[in-house]
A and B are shown apart, each in its own frame.
Chain A
Amino acid sequence: MSDQKTERLINLTLALLATKRYLTKNEIFRVVAGYSGSPETMERMFERDKDELRSMGIEIEVKGLDPLFEDDQGYLIKSESFQLQGNEFSKEELLYLTMAANLWHDSALQNDSKAALLKIQSLSGPIVSDEINTPAIRDNQSSQILSIAFNAVERQQRLTFQYKERIREVEPFGLYTRDGFWYLVAQEDLSVKSFKLLRIEGSLTTVGKPGEFKRPADFDLAAFIAQSKNEQASVAHLHVRKEQAFALRSKHATVEIDDEWDLMEVEYNFEQEIIETVLWHGLNVVVVKPESLRNQILSKIKELSNG
């Protein structure tokens, strides 16, 4: 990596940002430090620089300056598309933005949180307030998988991954977070489903080019989430010891069986999760139905008791 190229990219950005009118390529080659060599060399340099800045999210405006000569195009960067405006947020709003970003600093979104906080502090200096001690979100999601999913949704690019022991190829429509877990909403074989990101086995990979599919214009993520809450789940029948397992009791109703046990029905979507929940309660919760779930738990604790 050369210092010269970094310098040239900075100088090009500053020149395009400072100019009031569109600069032609020839003007850029003449006035911006760092462009030298034959016209072809400079041309190639400029095209590469422009592409790199754009790939980093900088919007470079292009305008034809002379309708008769297509080559004669002008370039500039609008200040309002590049920089935040000084009065864009009030002091109080900056405080709320800081609190909102702080929530995520231990989570899969920590890179975005950090970057946004640096920008907020570049507008306001350090923000000090009692209010900033808001809770932090700790999720168990890898930020790499989340960021691949996020970009694929934005760019409408297909994804492939292994899930519930099958290889999937899907068209991602959206993402949502609920109870600290992230879900990918995607179309697989003509039906739209939720995939829990934490349950993706191994890696998440993009397939093909961005824009190869179109998210249907009438797809409504909020409506999909509301409806998916009611999707068919399996039901486990549990025996719960009296006066025990209050965490479960606070979420699910029970029916009395005898002096020792109550009966509880719990809906679940992931076998591994209900197994973990049941085992967490140790001697106080026993699965009576379905048999497959019961047998899995039995085989796990047999292995544990054999050391």
Chain B
Amino acid sequence: MVDTAATRALRTMDLIPYILENPGISIRELAKQFNVTEKQIESDLQLVFMCGLPGYTPYELIDLVFEDGVVSIIDPQVLDRPRRFAKSELVMITLGLQILMELNQSNQDRLNKLLALANKITKLGSSNSILFSPTGNKSPFLEIITQGISQGKRIHLTYHSLIKDQVSEREVLPHNLYFMNGNLYLSALDLSLNSDRVFKVELIKKCTLGEIASSDVIDGESSAVEVVLHVRKSHRNFIERNSSIITATEEMSDHFGVHIQMSNLEWLKRSILSNAPGIKVVSPTILVGEVRQLATSLLASYQAVKAI
């Protein structure tokens, strides 16, 4: 996308207080943070040399040093603080604070502070036309899991698996937590399988913090297989949701050819069934047969259980 002069002017003005608080930052890092090319950052900074307050003597220009790929501000003139939050940013923050309050129901002190901050943000002009509707996401183990992630420690879980429908003991190295469709999930390396797994936090029955994981288990190899699917264009949602396991996609006339690298075939079979008939397995052959068998057995179940 090509910048307009105004977009570029704003970005350039936003760079000044950012560099001021992060002196000696590299051009590469700035490019990453502001989501533009390094060349663009360099040309924005070149422009800054020409800008300042009326008079435009060296005392009135914005002054910065820019060498060996790093940059610092000497005199920001009036741009010593960032611009105010835009309305949509205030809305995003407000929604975020509401979720933090929901996650911290048991910590009264923090809850009060979050509430005070949310009120402050509302006064700055957040919108009352956009709301977060609570879902009741609470887990007594959130604090332990967060500690495990921050400190690189193992966690011992007692977990009720939905896919296998049984309770098991797991030793995991937690990566991160995320919300999807209102549920909270933990992504972690399962140390006994030496492969990444996703756990639904509400199904964790018990949880204790263990030792710091030794580095040799962190880069574990997993026994992933390559699966090729044909996904109809009407089901492109499946591709967007699972982009993290997709290694390649090719567009055909009425479908996408999708290559997936994965070890959890049970999950994949359920997904194919629930998206039926939008996803077709091309290979491996054994999976083609298993999906067909599953569909045939399900048809038989419907024949056995009559409609009422």
Main secondary structure of the interface of A (DSSP, over half): helix
Q: How large is the interface on A (under 10, 10 to 19, 20 to 34, 35 or more residues)?
A: 35 or more
Which B residues are CB-close (under 8 A) to A18?
53-54, 77-78
Which B residues are CB-close (under 8 A) to A246?
160, 162, 165
* Given A103-B96, A291-B307, A305-B292: A6 in contact with B127 (beta carbons within 8 A): no
Question: B307 touching A294 by the CB < 8 A rule?
Answer: yes
Mask: chain B, 1-44; 1 = CB below 8 Å from A; 0 = not:
01111111110111001101110000000000111000000010
Question: A135 touching B129 by the CB < 8 A rule?
Answer: no
Question: A109 touching B130 by the CB < 8 A rule?
Answer: no
B248 interface residue per 8 A CB criterion: no
Which B residues are CB-close (under 8 A) to A3?
43, 47
A104 interface residue per 8 A CB criterion: yes
Mask: chain A, 2-15; 1 = CB below 8 Å from B; 0 = not:
11011101110111
Mask: chain A, 66-93; 1 = CB below 8 Å from B; 0 = not:
0000000000000101111110000011
* Given A176-B131, A181-B181: A56 in contact with B53 (beta carbons within 8 A): no
User: For residue B291, which residue of chain A has the nearest CB?
Assistant: A304
User: For residue B79, which residue of chain A has the nearest CB?
Assistant: A14
B253 interface residue per 8 A CB criterion: no
Which of B50, B83, B128, B130 is the one whose CB lies under 8 Å from A119?
B83
Which of B21, B88, B305 is the one whose CB lies under 8 Å from A239?
B305
B105 interface residue per 8 A CB criterion: no
A167 interface residue per 8 A CB criterion: no
User: For residue A151, which residue of chain B has the nearest CB?
Assistant: B88
Instruction: Please give the distance in Å from B82's CB to the nearest CB on chain A.
Output: 4
Stretch of A36-44, A120-128, A158-166, A204-212 lying at the B interface: A120-128
Instruction: Please give the distance in Å from A181's CB to the nearest CB on chain B.
Output: 7
Which B residues are CB-close (under 8 A) to A46?
none
A180 interface residue per 8 A CB criterion: yes
Which A residues are CB-close (under 8 A) to B179?
103, 135-138, 180
Question: B82 touching A83 by the CB < 8 A rule?
Answer: yes
Instruction: Please give the distance in Å from A126's CB to the nearest CB on chain B.
Output: 7
Which B residues are CB-close (under 8 A) to A245?
165
* Bound CA span A130–B151, Å: 8
Question: B276 touching A288 by the CB < 8 A rule?
Answer: no
Question: A96 touching B100 by the CB < 8 A rule?
Answer: yes
B298 interface residue per 8 A CB criterion: yes
A103-154 interface (Cβ within 8 A of B): 103-104, 106, 109, 112-116, 118-126, 130-131, 133-140, 147, 150, 153-154
Question: B21 touching A133 by the CB < 8 A rule?
Answer: no
Question: A97 touching B117 by the CB < 8 A rule?
Answer: yes
Question: B150 touching A130 by the CB < 8 A rule?
Answer: yes
User: For residue A102, which residue of chain B has the nearest CB?
Assistant: B96
A175 interface residue per 8 A CB criterion: yes
Which B residues are CB-close (under 8 A) to A217?
none
A216 interface residue per 8 A CB criterion: no
* Given A133-B146, A175-B130: A300 in contact with B276 (beta carbons within 8 A): yes
Question: A298 touching B299 by the CB < 8 A rule?
Answer: yes
Which of B100, B117, B150, B180 is the one whose CB lies under 8 Å from A103?
B100
A192 interface residue per 8 A CB criterion: no
Which A residues are CB-close (under 8 A) to B9?
6, 9-10, 13
Question: B182 touching A123 by the CB < 8 A rule?
Answer: no
Which A residues are CB-close (under 8 A) to B132?
176-178
Question: A179 touching B295 by the CB < 8 A rule?
Answer: no
A266 interface residue per 8 A CB criterion: no
Which A residues are CB-close (under 8 A) to B192?
none
Question: B176 touching A83 by the CB < 8 A rule?
Answer: no
* Given A14-B53, A134-B103, A181-B181: A118 in contact with B33 (beta carbons within 8 A): yes
* Bound CA span A55–B9, Å: 13
A33 interface residue per 8 A CB criterion: yes
Question: B51 touching A11 by the CB < 8 A rule?
Answer: yes
Which B residues are CB-close (under 8 A) to A307?
280, 288, 292
A99 interface residue per 8 A CB criterion: yes
Question: B306 touching A288 by the CB < 8 A rule?
Answer: yes
Question: B276 touching A301 by the CB < 8 A rule?
Answer: yes
Mask: chain B, 94-138; 1 = CB below 8 Å from A; 0 = not:
011101100100000000011001001000000111111101000
Question: B308 touching A85 by the CB < 8 A rule?
Answer: no
A101 interface residue per 8 A CB criterion: yes
User: For residue A261, which residue of chain B has the nearest CB?
Assistant: B305
Instruction: Please give the distance in Å from A134's CB to the nearest CB on chain B.
Output: 7
Which of B84, B135, B299 is the one whose CB lies under 8 Å from A302?
B299
Question: A147 touching B88 by the CB < 8 A rule?
Answer: yes
B301 interface residue per 8 A CB criterion: yes
A247 interface residue per 8 A CB criterion: yes
Mask: chain A, 226-256; 1 = CB below 8 Å from B; 0 = not:
0000000000010100011111000000000
Question: B178 touching A138 by the CB < 8 A rule?
Answer: yes
* Given A181-B181, A280-B274: A121 in contact with B127 (beta carbons within 8 A): no
A60 interface residue per 8 A CB criterion: no
Question: A305 touching B114 by the CB < 8 A rule?
Answer: no
* Bound CA span A15–B56, Å: 11
* Bound CA span A113–B209, Å: 31
* Bound CA span A274–B77, Å: 60
Most buried by B among A118, A124, A261: A118
5 closest A-B pairs by CB: A179-B182, A100-B96, A305-B295, A135-B177, A122-B82
Please list 5 pairs of residues, one from A and one from B, whose beta carbons are closer than 8 Å in the complex, sorted by A's number.
A1-B8, A10-B12, A14-B78, A104-B95, A154-B129
Further pairs besides A53-B6, A150-B88: 11, Cβ < 8 Å: A11-B52, A33-B50, A103-B100, A119-B14, A123-B81, A135-B184, A136-B178, A153-B130, A180-B182, A283-B297, A286-B305
